[in-house]
Structures are given as structure tokens and as C-alpha cells.
Amino acid sequence: MAYSNARRPVALAVVFGLAFAAPAAPALAEEGDYAAWQTALNLLFPPGPDNPVRASQKTGPYPLLPDPSSFNDGFNPGSYYTWQTIRTSPSTGAVCGNGSPYKFFVNRVPHTRNTIIYMEGGGACWDYASCTGQTGVRGARNPNGIPDDYMSLANPGASLVSPFVTRINPLDTAKTQNWNMVYIPYCTGDVYSGDRVATYADPSGQRPPLVWHHNGLRNTRAVVAWLKNNLPRPTQMLSTGCSAGGTGSLTGYATLRRDLAPTRGFLINDSGPIFPTPQFGDSAQFPSVRLHAQIRDVWGLDAGPLAFIKAAAPAFDLGDLGSIYPALSSRFPNDRMGHTHFWQDQNYSSYSYERFYPEIAGAPAAQKPALITAKWSQDTARLRASLDGLGNVGGYFPQFRALNESHCTTVVDFNNGDVQERRLELDDFIHSVLDGSGAVLDASEASDIADRAKPLNPLYALINLIL
Amino acid sequence: MRKNALVIGTGVAIAAALVLGIVWLAFDSSSISVSAPPMADEPSGEPAMGIASENHGASREDARLEANAFNTPTGRAALAAHAERQRFEKALRDFLAGSETLPPAERARISAELDAQVEAEELAQRMSADEARMLRLALIERGSHDATERLRRSEALADAYRRESERRQRAFEQQQATDPAFVAYKAREAQIVAEVSAMRAIPGGISRDEYLRRRLQAERERAYAANPGG
């Protein structure tokens, strides 16, 4: 784009003014940041889209369908630093699990094109009990849809806010804190990957069947279409999230990256692993095989979503969902990607095995963690070995954190995700992904003894109390 | 008093800068070119459409209009708001990073001031509830020497956020239950599911699941078009 010379005096004048008015303005030196004078102009003349949806992208499988021009999405381009609720029209195909309108949230800044796409975590569901949020069964976030003022709710589950999506964090800094933020909430129970309207019968027969829209893939496409038509193309883009959001970041990366077309792409999957697992493998050897079979069926993955990923990342093997890591590695060799989770995770692991293995489901509560961890370790070891062979995809596996069942390494803070034997902190891994060069860091911790010996963390104690 | 002086000083500085800039408009200057960064995976085929509101081929008249825009109440307010946000962020970061060097009374005072500002930013939706709660917990931690007092205030704060969130969630669910578009759609949803399940053949050469999805989407489009406020 060309910038008219006639604007320079105005811009410089404004910068001059800001020099007095904003002595605290942070130094902006990132690739993708606007110059100070452009930032000032952006305050009054917000930059618009420069990579809008093309006609060819509005057709074919999972098209990018923008809102009709008459639809009020609620966006105010000049409202910087504000969490804006973006509504989607039904014609985009977006919808929450219960059939209510899908919404997402944008917080833009005037000083950069760089953008973080954060997918919210929140479990998963694949039957009546889990999709209705029945007590005692691990289910999925937001079964009743997304409130307009969602960012003003401090839900117990959402209290695990990540330093990635805060502007000011008392504990950690990350360069994404200065970026445009897109917060994608979760309401479909399908790790942002499904495409099927399921009908789940009430096992008790007392209530009518539950109609549930596992519509995550189409929701993500609606977000992409909106971003292309409303914001500048990112120069740097980080796609990340924890748990279900991590999985969604992984499954959605190839198409997100292709369509938003950032100059530099980054992916961090926090605790949403898709383990290497042949579709018809032996469950003794591949513990996630039963979970994969279940979700392929009820989320409709074989009817379109998996082929859609493969079209964007050809090395993806439809017979092994875990092949997505090498597929992304080869498709985007210049992107930097990472996967991280704790060896002692008791949350995603529980989703993965507890309801699929009667010997775990029926075990006394005190014995379940060890049974779950045994299978999780088996799967994690295989994933770790797979990632070790990929230069641009790092694997970072600390042992234990006394917070949230050791689930998600990047929520609340980046502390206590250390690998003591190599004197590494989680921050080292994140910086390796976002700022490093050469191979992305791989690290794994062998023992949880040092982690469990740490003194009580008062902040974690308080958060566990809130939870 | 100090704050008023600062605001006045800032206004004077901005006004002076604007005057200088507008005067400078009388002079030609050499061109400045800023290129958009390259796309890593440039889509092939159709060219991308033009930039909607970035400064593409702006004219001298455009520049004058922009200069005028900065010299309007809206323009001045935008600049002042941006400057204020930068100042707030720096003050907060500085305090969180260096509060231990301050005398206890000063720590408590600044902590209270920043807490009020965080609350104001949250109310203005420039901070999520989660971010604000985390910051306010940190301000309690940094602002007081008394561990018992810190715990009491932290628990009270967490409880207040919990209650407010529950209230908002209840309000949302009540609103949704009476939203005419949603109610109309849900009434038809179960009927359509039953109807499609009973169909012996699916038209259009598509799967039953895809047919059902399309029928339900069409129903949502109808319901929300008929009830645009929904």
C-alpha cells in the first residue's frame, strides 16, 4: 500500500502531540507493528480489511460465508482496546450447540496488524449426559450458548485466563499481549472440529431427545470470514488455546493459516493432544483409539471435516488423526509450532479414557488417577517421539503443577511448567516458538518429585478454591 | 489538582502539535511509501480486493480533512483516550513490577488508585472480567502487608465476581428463554428433526445429516429474519 506524502505533516504533528501526551507508550518494534504516525492515524481512521473473502472462497466445502451486508454484527472499527461482541448471522452457518446464535469477541489495537486467535477450552461431549451438562459427568462448556456480555463473566472454568489474552498480566509477559486479540468461545462440545446435528436420547426416557449442533468447524469458518472482511491481514499470527481450544487450534490451523495468510504463522497447542493412533489399532497399544472412534462417529468427522483438513494439509492421514502434526510440519515448513502438556494431566486424560474403559470407570476413585496416567503416559511417549522428529514442531512435556489437575500449562501463569533437570521454564518453550530460530525446543521431564515438593502457591490455592 | 494540571498540559501539547502539523501542510515533502508485508502463502487465482480504509492513494485534500478530524472534539478525545490508556498500562506495570520498593502507606494508596482504575476499565469493557479479577487480586497482594487482611479481601473479591457472573448468566438464560426468534426456532427444531428422521429418501443427493443441517439452518434464518431483534 502506498502512503500519501501529504499526510506526513499531520502524522508527525500527531506524533509530536502523543510524545507529550503518552510518554508511557511502549516501544513498538515487532514485525507487523505500525509506525507511530500510522498508529496515530489509525485512531481516527481505523485500517480496514486488505484480504477480504474472494468469490471462490464462498463456494465448495466449508465455504467462507460473510454476514449479509444488512446484518448488524455489532462491530465498531474504531473502538480500540475494547472487548467487542461480534454476532454472526444464521446464514454464515454458525450456531451454538443448543441452536442459539454464535458469537465471538475481538479486542483490537491501533498499533499493530499482528493477531492472536485464542480458542477457549472447555471439555467435550458426545452423548446425552455430557452434552446436557449432567452432574458427575465431564461435559462441555456453555451448553446454553454464549451471552453477549460473556467477557464480563468470570465463570469458574474461565477463571483460568491465559497470559496470552490479557493486556496486562501481573505474572507474565508475552508479545501477544500487545496484539489484536480474537477470543473464540466454545459452545459445541466438539473441539471446534465437528459438523453434525446429533440427536441424543435421554437414557432415562423421561425427557425428550437432545438435539445438539456439533458445529465447531462451521463456526470457525464464520470467524475466519469475518476476520478477512473486517480486519487487516495479520503479519504475525499465533493460533493457540488450551484443552479443547488447543485441539481446535491444531485441527483448524491448516485452513486458518491458508485463509488468513499471515506472513508468519505460529501455533501453540496447549494440552489438547491428538495422539498418533491408527483408526483400527489395538486399544492396548493405542489407548485413544476408542475416543477417536466415538468422536469420528458422533461429530461427523468422516463426512467432511477430515477431508477438509487433508485438502489443506495433504500429508494428513485420514486413518490416523495424530498424523496432523507431521502434516502441518510439512505443509508449513517455515511456521513455528509447539505442543505442550503435563505428564500428570488428570483432565484431558480423563476425557480420553475414563468412559471408554470399564476398568477405569468402575474403579474406586482413589485408583483412577493411576489407571488414567498409565494410558496417558503411553500415548504421551508416542507423541513425544513423533514430535522429536519434527524440526518446526516442538514438544514440551513438564510433569506436574498443583493447579487445575495439572491441566493446561499456559493458563493463569507460565510458571511451574518447568523442566528442572534441564533448567527450563515454560517461558523458554514459548519464546522458542514465537521468537526462536532453528529447530523449536523439545523437552520432557522424567520425574514429578521436584514439582510435588514445591511449597504451596497462595495464588493457585485461591484459584483452586474458586474452581 | 496534579491530575488537572496534567490534563491541561496534555491538551496544550496536543493543540500545539496540531497547529504545527497543519502549518506544515503548506509545504510539499518527498513521498513516503509503506508496503504491506508479503503474504507467506499468497493465494493464487483471483487478486485480493482493494484496501478499504487504509491510506491508499490519499490526496492532499484527504490529508486536510484528516487534519481537521484531529482538531475536532472527537479527534481530540480519541488521542486523549489513547494517551490515557498508555499511561494507565505503564502505571500498572510499574507498580506490579516495583511495589516492594515503596513505603507501605504509598503501596496501599497506589494499589487502591489502580484498583479503581482497573474496575473502571472493566466497566468500560476494556478489560475482561478474568483479566480484571487477576489484576485486582495482584493489587491486593502487593498493596497490603497483612496476610490475613489480604486473604479476606481476596476471598471477598472472588466471591463478588462469582455472584456477578452468576447474575449475568441467569439474566442471559432468562433473556434467551423469552427471545422470540430462539423460541420460534426451537419449537420447529424438534419437528424438523423428527420429520427428517422419518424420511425414507433424502432429496438432493446429499446425506441425511447434511440435509438435516441445511433444513435447520434455513429454519434459523427464517426465525431470525422474522424477529430481527432476536
Cβ of B138 within 8 Å of Cβ of A171? The answer is yes
Q: Are residues B89 and B153 located together in one domain of the fold? A: yes
pLDDT at res. A171? 84
In a domain, B27, yes or no: no
Q: Is-contact B142 B104, C-beta < 8 A?
A: no
Q: Are residues B163 and B83 located together in one domain of the fold? A: yes
pLDDT at res. B68? 81
Q: Are residues B132 and B184 located together in one domain of the fold? A: no
Exposed / middle / buried, residue A283 (Cβ in 10 Å: 0-12, 13-18, 19+): middle
Q: Are residues B140 and B104 located together in one domain of the fold? A: yes
In a domain, B215, yes or no: yes
In a domain, B151, yes or no: yes
CA distances to A55, A434, A457, B120 from B136, rounded to whole Å, are 48, 29, 17, 12
Q: Are residues B84 and B151 located together in one domain of the fold? A: yes
CB atoms within 10 A of CB A370: 10
> Which chain A residues are within 8 Å of B15, Cβ to Cβ?
17
pLDDT at res. B37? 57
Q: Is-contact A237 A114, C-beta < 8 A?
A: yes
Q: Is-contact A16 B20, C-beta < 8 A?
A: yes
In Å, how far is A191's CA from the nearest CA of chain B?
19
In Å, how far is A205's CA from the nearest CA of chain B?
16
Residue with cell 493463569: A412
pLDDT at res. B43? 41
In Å, how far is A339's CA from the nearest CA of chain B?
22
The total of structural domains in chain B comes to 2
Cβ of A2 within 8 Å of Cβ of B18? The answer is no
Q: Is the pLDDT of residue B11 over 60?
A: no
In a domain, B64, yes or no: no
Q: Quote the CA–CA distance of A149 and B210 in Å, as a whole number.
A: 32
In a domain, B217, yes or no: yes
Stretch B43-64: mean pLDDT: 46
Q: Is the pLDDT of residue B13 over 90?
A: no
Cβ of B162 within 8 Å of Cβ of A18? The answer is no
Report, as ranges of residue numbers, the positions in chain A whose pLDDT lies below 70: 1-28, 155-160, 465-467
* Interface contact B140, partner A, CB < 8 A: no
The continuous run of DSSP H or E covering B61 comes out as: helix B60-70
**pLDDT tens digits, one per residue of A332-341:** 999 999 999 9
Instruction: Mark which residues 6-45 of B lie under 8 Å from A by CB.
Output: 9-10, 13-25, 27-43, 45
In a domain, B98, yes or no: yes
Q: Are residues B161 and B196 located together in one domain of the fold? A: no
Across chain A, what does the average pLDDT equal? Answer: 92
Q: Is the pLDDT of residue B55 over 90?
A: no
**pLDDT tens digits, one per residue of B74-92:** 889 999 999 999 999 999 9
Percentage helix, strand, coil, to 5, in chain B? 75, 0, 25
Q: Least CB-CB distance to B79: which of A11, A18, A263?
A: A18
> Cα dihedral sign for A177, A180, A185, A188?
negative
The residue ranges of every structural domain in chain A are 13-45, 46-466
In Å, how far is A79's CA from the nearest CA of chain B?
10
Residue B203: which pLDDT band, with cuts at 50, 70 and 90? very high
In a domain, B191, yes or no: yes
Which residues are CB-contacts of A358 (< 8 A; sequence separation ≥ 6)? none
Instruction: Mark which residues 195-224 of B lie under 8 Å from A by CB.
Output: 197, 207, 209-210, 212-213, 216-217, 220-221, 223-224
Residue B211: which pLDDT band, with cuts at 50, 70 and 90? very high
Q: Is-contact A432 A338, C-beta < 8 A?
A: yes
Q: Quote the CA–CA distance of B167 and B158 in Å, as a whole number.
A: 14
pLDDT at res. A16? 40
**pLDDT tens digits, one per residue of B96-146:** 998 889 999 999 999 999 999 999 999 999 999 999 999 999 999 999 889
- The percentage of residues in chain B with a pLDDT greater than 70, rounded to a whole number, is 73
Q: Are residues B139 and B195 located together in one domain of the fold? A: no
- Here the cell at position B96 is 506490579
Cβ of B51 within 8 Å of Cβ of A49? The answer is yes
Residue span of the structural domain in which B113 resides: 79-167
Residue B41: which pLDDT band, with cuts at 50, 70 and 90? very low
In a domain, B90, yes or no: yes
Residue B38: which pLDDT band, with cuts at 50, 70 and 90? low
Q: Quote the CA–CA distance of A195 and B209 in Å, as a whole number.
A: 9
Nearest CA in chain B to A51: B48
Cβ of B131 within 8 Å of Cβ of A45? The answer is no
User: What is the DSSP secondary structure assignment for residue A277, as one 8-state letter?
Assistant: -
ipTM of the prediction: 0.91
Cβ of A232 within 8 Å of Cβ of B54? The answer is yes
Q: Are residues B101 and B150 located together in one domain of the fold? A: yes
